[in-house]
Structure 1
Amino acid sequence: MSSTYTLIKGTVPLLISMPHNGEKIPQDIAETMVPSALKVPDTDWHKDKLYDFAKAMGAYIIMPEYNRYVIDLNRDPDGVDLYPGANSTELCPTTGFDLSPLYLDGKTPDENEIQRRIKTYWQPYHQALSNTLAEIKGQFGRAVLLEAHSILSHVPRFFEGQLPDFNFGTANGASCAPELLEQVQSLDYAPYSMVSNGRFKGGFITRHFGQPEQDVHALQLELSQRTYMNEPSPEYNEALAAEVKPKLQALVSALINFAQQPGQEK
């Protein structure tokens, strides 16, 4: 176990990762940031609360303590751009989603600081992901990883207009078996909108750990925050959440059912 993340062990072959759920910023980093950054507005708010049912369903759950402003756990540590040509955020973001600066003048992290953050925050989370998926695969013969994300429904930096409610990403089909995505797509999301491999195709974690040929299947869900929050504020809306949670429960159930089927390892 690490002081930088929380891992809840489960009883079924599903791991739910919430890499942007953390809200903390260490004091030494906070001292280099502008006051508005300390409000961490680009957090994937309340994912642990929204998925609180998953623990009772037996899912493994992992989430970091620290915010994506410290280091983005869903980015390639070598700095490879996940969406070439798009206006993306870095491994250690220097601007918010609204393009405002996160750091005081002259205080942006240099290469040594970035490497320190990789070692301190990025590597432990990814080692835990790797170990847990290997443990699940060893015990059950198959592992499924759900990357649980959320974002404001309007972020001009990343997409035009209003984002669909449920945005699934499987690296254009490379990160999971086709039948898994088919099962996910066949669920009833009404009255919510749903799209697969649209603007969001899955980040580094989905692309790196999704190895369907090894019977390790990964998919990302980018959920519009309008489905469970009083956006653009970070307030959780109990009434809205109560309406969308059954859809998430059906999704988690479908993932567990797929994960418990006999593996197809080659």
Structure 2
Amino acid sequence: MSDWLTITEGDAPLILAFPHVGTGLADVEAGFRSPWLARRDADWWVNDLYAFAADLGATLVATGISRSVIDVNRDPSGASLYPGQATTELCPTTTFDGEPLYADALPDEAEIARRRTLWFDPYHAALQWQIDRLRAAHPSVVLYDAHSIRSHVPRLFEGELPPFNIGTNGGTTCNLALAAAVEAICMASGESHVLDGRFRGGWTTRHYGHPENGVHAIQMELAIRGYMDEPEAPTEANWLPTFDPARAAHLTAILSQIIEAARAFALQEA
């Protein structure tokens, strides 16, 4: 554990990763055009939303560094995860809406390498260590990559995002039975969902998800309106969302079923 990386270890064959809950701007804050913009696209309160998972024996890994500093869910080579579609870089230069993040100089290769050494590499070293630790005790492990996003981001997707967006990179990152179990819970909830739609799983899901080696990775991208009030147009005056457990209770109940199903799947693989 460090001042920017929080790890809660459990013994169940289940890891929840939170790559985008951080809002820390570290030593690069002065370079951003607006600290508010540099924090706006965080996955707000997602680690609080899934806090119950620790009681199920899950391991939780969360970074406190903002995705605007470095996105630990991007391909470190710089290759796009969604060729031909709008996205953001390893060290983003724009917001999701395309607004410039930097006032002047953009991060150059040396600066990107520095940020990777300081934050990207240690985050993934921690994830790999936890996977290896649990694989030593269990035949299979589920890595659940937890995310959220505003319901409307026209630059990234058309219309309104469904509440549940499941990503398995076309069924390659986990056993189909795991994806089916998660999808069935979403269907039974009465809320809309999509499997491998606009969000098919980021670098974390694609990099670690090797079901043939006993590591099943799945991403869940939640539309943020499912657990808190979402303004139609976020501004600096209205966009510092607060987390209200009572407001989120409906979604938390569904997510509890999903996490329990993921845990049960991993245990059944023994």
Shorter-chain TM-score: what band?
over 0.9
Query: For 1:186, what is the secondary structure of its paired residue?
Result: helix
Match of 2:151 in 1: 153
Using the TM superposition, give the Cα deviation of residue 191 of structure 1 relative to its aligned residue in structure 2, in angstroms: 2.9
Which among 125, 128, 148 is matched to residue 126 of structure 2? 128
The aligned residue for residue 203 of structure 1 is 202
Match for 2:264 among 257, 260, 265? 257
Matched position secondary structure for 1:90: coil
2: CA distance, partners of 1:35 / 1:86: 25
SS at match of 1:103: coil
CA distance in 2, matches of 1:204, 1:262: 24
* Residue 99 to residue 36, structure 1, CA distance change in 2 (3 Å): farther
- Residue 39 of structure 1 deviates from its aligned partner by 5.6
TM-score calculated relative to the size of structure 2: 0.93
Tell me, yes or no, if the aligned pair for 2:38 and 2:68 is still in contact at 8 Å.
Answer: no
Cα distance per residue 1:104-146 (max 9 Å; x no partner): 12x2111000000000000000011111111111111211000
Secondary structure of 2:7's aligned partner: strand
Q: 2:32, 2:269 → 1: CA distance? A: 50
Contact preservation (8 Å) 2:209, 2:218: yes
> Letter of the aligned partner of 1:20 in structure 2?
H
Q: Is the 8 A contact 1:17 1:148 kept in 2?
A: yes
One-letter identity of the residue aligned with 1:254: A
**Cα distance between partner residues in 1 of 2:123 and 2:38:** 23
Q: What is the CA–CA distance in structure 1 between the aligned matches of 2:171 and 2:47, rounded to whole Å?
A: 27
Instruction: Quote the offset at 1:35 in angstroms.
Output: 2.1
Residue number among 241, 250, 268 corresponding to 1:243 in the alignment: 250
State the AA in 1 paired with 2:266.
A
Greater mean deviation of Cα atoms: 228-237 or 69-78: 228-237
Local SS of the residue matching 1:139: coil
Match of 1:212 in 2: 211
Number of residue pairs the alignment of both structures matches: 261
Cα distance, 1:180 vs structure 2: 1.1
Q: CA deviation at 1:38?
A: 5.5
- Give the drift of 1:236: 2.5
Counterpart position of 1:56:
55
- Tell whether the 8 Å contact from 2:11 to 2:134 is kept in structure 1 after alignment: no
* 1:76-112, Cα deviation, whole Å (9 max, x unpaired): 110010000001100000111111111112x211100
Deviation of 1:189 (Å) = 4.3
Map of 1:102-141 to 2, 5 A cutoff?
A: 102-105=101-104, 107-141=105-139
Q: Answer yes or no: is the 8 Å Cα contact 1:169–1:219 preserved in 2.
A: yes
Unaligned runs of 5+ in 2: 232-238
Q: Which residue of 1 aligns with 2:66?
A: 67
User: Displacement of 1:48 after TM fit?
Assistant: 1.5
Question: Amino acid of the residue matched to residue 97 of structure 1?
Answer: F
Shift of residue 230 of structure 1? 1.4
Instruction: Find the aligned partners of 2:110 and 2:38 in 1 and give their Cα distance.
Output: 25
Normalising by the residue count of structure 1, what TM-score does the alignment of the two structures yield? 0.95
Q: Quote the offset at 1:161 in angstroms.
A: 0.4
- Percent of aligned pairs with the same amino acid: 44
How far apart, CA to CA, are the structure 1 residues paired with 2:35 and 2:133? 40
Give the structure 2 partner of residue 22 of structure 1: 22
* Structure-2 separation of matches of 1:34 and 1:229: 27
> Structure 1, unaligned stretches of length 5 or more?
none
- Which position in structure 2 is the counterpart of 1:165? 163
1:2 CA displacement: 3.6
